[in-house]
A and B are shown apart, each in its own frame.
Chain A
Amino acid sequence: MHSKAKLFAIVLAFLSGICCTAQAIDLSGKLTCTLPSKVAVALFPTSQNNHEYYCLPTNLRVSYKETSTPEFLFMAWKNEGSTQIDGGILHWLLTWGLIKNEEKFVRDFLIAKVDSNAVLKGVLTFTAPSKYQFLGKNTELIALLQRSLSSGGIIPSEPSGKSASSFRFSAEDARTIEKLIHTPEKADGVWIEMPLFFPDGQEMCRLRLPLKSIFQAGAKCPTCLILPK
């Protein structure tokens, strides 16, 4: 028995390194629920039970505190005697997934569309690269963000999980970011992208968030900005 167990353990260990399908879903049973926020949520029944639904990851956004304050911070400073910004830091938290009210909205949607036994079981399991990417046409801005990224950028594995990123800027870069926060439309064309994959390697979806919307959230929040006089 020992050798048998050993051999199967070897097989198991080998197989565990292989990507494979997670929740078995029925792609043909797809439903789309549009939230009041206009975000579309794709729902799939499991292949075993057409009353159990999983949704695709969705709704990448800036994370907000309970006080409705965006989890965003930009701080710039001047050295003594200096007339312009000499440095700065930026820290933001992103998240994805449905908030509690939206979950209820989707559950109610399923009950209305399927029947009273329909259940939202959660989000489809995915694999993802370790960090998100900055993409877009403004390569200069992307380069600035990439060289200034101090730490973070991890893709959260579960809904409501947070992705923290912290940047430290040189004097010139800090001045650029300070201007962009006050004119976020100039950051248009750059976005954050989190590519998500089914465990067998096939692409599941791409969560995207325009940089502009992150800066807009910060610009609307005076307590998120610490700027020198």
Chain B
Amino acid sequence: MRIHLTISFLVLAALGSVLTAQVLDSENKLTITLKDQTKVTLYGQASSLSDAKTNSYYYLPCNLRLSRKQDGTPEFLFLKFTSDERNATGVMQGALLHLLMEYGLTKAQETELSGILKSRYNGGILKGAADVEPDGDNSVRVISATLGSKDLTRSLVFNGKAPTLPGSKIAVAAMLDKQGAQIFAATLEKSRSIADLSLNLSFNYQIRVPAAKGYIKEDWSKIDSLAQKDSASFSKNTDTNYGKKVGNTLVGALFGGPIGGLIGWFGSGSEEHYSYDELREFYRKLEENKVVTLRFEENVSDERVDKIREAFFQHFLNSFTEKDGNAAREPSLKEKEAIPDIKQGDSYVFKREVRDVVKQKKIQIFDLSYSMAVKRSHQLTENFASWYDQNKDNPKCVGLVNIGDAFFQYRDINVILDIEAEEMMGKEVNYVTVSIRKKRSEEGAYDFSQDVTFDRKFLEKEGNRYTVTYSKAQDANPEMYEYKVQWSLRGGLVFPPNDTTWKKGSWQGLSLAPPIAPRTIRFEADLADMKQMGIKNATLQLRYKKFGKEIESNIGINASGTDGFAEKMIFMDRNTQGYAYRLVFHDKDLGPIATDWDAKINTDYMYAAIPKQIRNKDQNWIKLGLEAAKVLVTVDETGAVSKDQQVLDKFRKIIDIAEKK
């Protein structure tokens, strides 16, 4: 009676416990093209105990596409950006690409595919996606000359491993620099073919393939002939060192004694204990003497035969022996090699039913036509252009932005000290302080404030320019700022003295001009004419406004001198355009004769023209002039002319400049 055992059953049992539950049959492969030209490769589920083909199919990864949000928006962004700011590193120009992909059939495609399987392939059933694993750590590949170039793309990041489940997302993100963005965008926008970006996913999947057709035969009838043939030589055999017990029983039965000895041993009922190594040696002898035969119908490597032999020995062990847990011991080296996680060496006894097998000289054939699981690779590749083309008009996906977010911008205020003030520094001006503040409109935002003081030392070190910078963030009107200026002047004056009014700043910057302007007044006289007319001195009296007060300054020329020219710098309020003046001629006999006060828009030049009334000796006019000259000017502690002697009010229209509001 022949007993057929199928090792494939055992293999599949192991497969089920160690590997994966889904087993694909390489002999049952389909390739189906869907209406939208998506090509789907499917494998049938392997039958667990036979080579029969099932009609249950699993599909390999396909249909790589952009993933979509729940509202249908593609999860894709291509954003070109630029800026009004120049930046040496080019950070402010470039493009950002970010996309999420997934693969797998859509519901509609699954329905279509199920229908095709059912109608065209004998009621085939679509069971779902095949189990796959990423083909290594770099199973997602970005194929692009632009994105792959470090001098065109600042950074490129993406999932290294392809996801194993359909619908799982794969992210790719790149920041392109200025040139890279232009090249990549050109391939998207100008070409109607493909873009310089393809994406590739690589997977491995396992399929069962038939192989190693062959068998293992146990022929216990050979024991008889062996016993007869070798009985004479047994006594010379010294190969008995593999175990006293085996030597006394099994080997004796096999090689030394008649078959009855073996049967007697098997039937003796004695429970002899054998180690793992002893049984291995026994099995080797069985093979050596053709009691156990391995045969393959094809050429198979020795190493592979060894593995199969090893597997079958294990099967022999389990079929013919039982473990005796009471005799635990240290495992042997061979035992450890075969069973790496073994903790204790086993002790074995032969099963009692084995004697029946031997007594009946049974022949057992073990079919080795088992299937093996092998790995196969599978790739998915798509170009980005089709995804882009579908979404190029979707503002949620494709955009252009000029980076001008005030939040990230700064406002620079250039504070420049006027050239006149620079000249006056250390003369009329001790220092000037400008206070700048920026009140921010957003609730909870801090206000900005900074004071800058220009004095002679600051001028020498920093020059006449200083930049005050504040952030434009958290304010509705980031350009607007306020300021106030205070001047410290010679003599301890402060102008304005107690002014706390904040003024709105100009967008151009802030020019610090002093409230007073220097003017050099040149005064000239004809010395010979003065001498001829008996005038010893001519004086120019000027009245002008300084810090809003009326000030008098005099410039004199003496006829006895050699120079008929004199000049003097005066400091007038910047908001005036002229001054009042009179001439005082000192007659050698009559004394000082003063002309009437008159006003003049700034020419900065006066000539001491001797009035015709003096030349004509007009006594009435001279009398009035003598009276006018007698008035002594009184000033207060600031140098201001006393109110009853002030004259500028009469010339306000000429002198004052309408103040800008």
Q: Is A192 an interface residue (CB 8 A)?
A: no
B14–A152 touching, CB < 8 Å: no
Within 8 A of A (CB), among B1-53: 10-11, 13-15, 17-19, 26-27, 29-31, 33, 37, 39, 41, 51
Within 8 A of B (CB), among A44-103: 46, 48, 54, 65-67, 69-73, 75, 77, 89-93, 97, 99-100, 103
How many residues of chain B get a CB closer than 8 Å to chain A's CBs? 74
A157–B378 touching, CB < 8 Å: yes
Q: B19, B209, B372: which has the most chain A beta carbons within 10 Å?
A: B209
A91–B194 touching, CB < 8 Å: yes
Q: B51, B194, B301, B339: which has the most chain A beta carbons within 10 Å?
A: B194
Chain A 164-188, CB-CB to B under 8 Å as 1, else 0, gives 1111100000000000000000000
A122–B27 touching, CB < 8 Å: no
A223–B191 touching, CB < 8 Å: yes
Give min CB distance, B380 to chain A, whole Å. Answer: 7
Chain B residues within 8 Å of A5, by CB? 13-14, 17-18
Chain A residues within 8 Å of B145, by CB? 89-91, 150-151, 166-168
Give min CB distance, A83 to chain B, whole Å. Answer: 19
How far apart are the CA atoms of A90 and B11 in the complex, in Å? 50
Q: A8, A93, A152: which has the most chain B beta carbons within 10 Å?
A: A8
Stretch from B91-99, B136-144, B498-506 that touches the partner:
B136-144
**Given known contacts A20-B211, A77-B183, A156 and B379 CB-to-CB distance under 8 angstroms:** yes
Chain B residues within 8 Å of A71, by CB? 193-194, 383
B308–A11 touching, CB < 8 Å: yes
Interface SS of B by simple majority: mixed
A199–B314 touching, CB < 8 Å: no
B148–A8 touching, CB < 8 Å: no
How far apart are the CA atoms of A23 and B30 in the complex, in Å? 12
Q: A3, A15, A154: which has the most chain B beta carbons within 10 Å?
A: A15
Q: A7, A75, A125, A167: which has the most chain B beta carbons within 10 Å?
A: A7
A152–B200 touching, CB < 8 Å: yes
B198–A162 touching, CB < 8 Å: yes
A89–B191 touching, CB < 8 Å: no
Chain B residues within 8 Å of A221, by CB? 193
Give min CB distance, B104 to chain A, whole Å. Answer: 15
Chain B 203-225, CB-CB to A under 8 Å as 1, else 0, gives 00010011110000000000000
Give min CB distance, B274 to chain A, whole Å. Answer: 16
B193–A224 touching, CB < 8 Å: yes
Give min CB distance, B74 to chain A, whole Å. Answer: 18
Q: Is A40 an interface residue (CB 8 A)?
A: no
Chain B 275-316, CB-CB to A under 8 Å as 1, else 0, gives 000000000000000000000000001011001101100110
B304–A121 touching, CB < 8 Å: no
How far apart are the CA atoms of A66 and B386 in the complex, in Å? 10
**Given known contacts A158-B60, A162-B198, A12 and B11 CB-to-CB distance under 8 angstroms:** yes
How far apart are the CA atoms of A152 and B386 in the complex, in Å? 19
Chain A residues within 8 Å of B18, by CB? 5, 9, 12
Give min CB distance, B100 to chain A, whole Å. Answer: 19
How far apart are the CA atoms of A41 and B37 in the complex, in Å? 20
How far apart are the CA atoms of A5 and B380 in the complex, in Å? 36
Chain A residues within 8 Å of B14, by CB? 4-6, 8-9, 12
Give min CB distance, B434 to chain A, whole Å. Answer: 45
B193–A122 touching, CB < 8 Å: no
Q: Is B397 an interface residue (CB 8 A)?
A: no
**Given known contacts A5-B18, A11-B311, A91-B187, A73 and B386 CB-to-CB distance under 8 angstroms:** no
B376–A72 touching, CB < 8 Å: no
Give min CB distance, A12 to chain B, whole Å. Answer: 6
Chain B residues within 8 Å of A112, by CB? none
How far apart are the CA atoms of A162 and B201 in the complex, in Å? 11
* Cβ-defined partner of A3 (8 Å) among B39, B190, B339, B383: B339
Chain A 3-34, CB-CB to B under 8 Å as 1, else 0, gives 11111111110111011111110000000000
How far apart are the CA atoms of A222 and B198 in the complex, in Å? 21
Chain B residues within 8 Å of A12, by CB? 11, 14-15, 18-19, 372-373
Q: Is B474 an interface residue (CB 8 A)?
A: no
Name 11 interchain pairs, CB-CB below 8 A, sorted by A: A9-B18, A16-B373, A22-B209, A46-B27, A100-B33, A121-B31, A150-B143, A151-B142, A158-B378, A160-B37, A161-B380
Chain A residues within 8 Å of B33, by CB? 99-100, 103, 160
How far apart are the CA atoms of A198 and B44 in the complex, in Å? 20
* Cβ-defined partner of B144 (8 Å) among A14, A65, A151: A151
* Cβ-defined partner of B339 (8 Å) among A6, A72, A127, A168: A6
Q: Is B430 an interface residue (CB 8 A)?
A: no
**Given known contacts A4-B318, A154-B381, A199-B374, A125 and B196 CB-to-CB distance under 8 angstroms:** no
A16–B27 touching, CB < 8 Å: no
Kindly report which residue of chain B lies nearest to residue A66, judged by CB atoms.
B37
Q: Is A35 an interface residue (CB 8 A)?
A: no
A156–B381 touching, CB < 8 Å: yes
How far apart are the CA atoms of A48 and B28 in the complex, in Å? 11
How far apart are the CA atoms of A66 and B373 in the complex, in Å? 38
Kindly report which residue of chain B lies nearest to residue A14, judged by CB atoms.
B307
**Extra A-B contacts (4), CB below 8 Å, given A5-B18, A9-B17, A11-B307:** A10-B307, A69-B192, A150-B143, A160-B33
Q: In the A-B complex, list the 3 residue pairs whose CB atoms are closest, starting with the nearest.
A: A164-B198, A122-B31, A168-B145
* Cβ-defined partner of B200 (8 Å) among A16, A154, A167, A168: A154
A8–B209 touching, CB < 8 Å: no
**Given known contacts A161-B380, A164-B143, A168-B145, A75 and B187 CB-to-CB distance under 8 angstroms:** yes
Q: Is B375 an interface residue (CB 8 A)?
A: yes
Q: Is B344 an interface residue (CB 8 A)?
A: no
How far apart are the CA atoms of A221 and B194 in the complex, in Å? 12
**Given known contacts A11-B311, A122-B29, A20 and B193 CB-to-CB distance under 8 angstroms:** no
How far apart are the CA atoms of A91 and B194 in the complex, in Å? 8
Give min CB distance, A43 to chain B, whole Å. Answer: 13
Chain A residues within 8 Å of B656, by CB? none
How far apart are the CA atoms of A158 and B201 in the complex, in Å? 13
Chain B residues within 8 Å of A22, by CB? 26, 209
Give min CB distance, B199 to chain A, whole Å. Answer: 8
Q: Is A204 an interface residue (CB 8 A)?
A: no
Kindly report which residue of chain A lies nearest to residue B313, judged by CB atoms.
A7
Chain A residues within 8 Å of B435, by CB? none
**Given known contacts A23-B27, A72-B193, A73-B193, A226 and B187 CB-to-CB distance under 8 angstroms:** yes
B186–A72 touching, CB < 8 Å: no
Q: Is B333 an interface residue (CB 8 A)?
A: no
How far apart are the CA atoms of A161 and B195 in the complex, in Å? 18
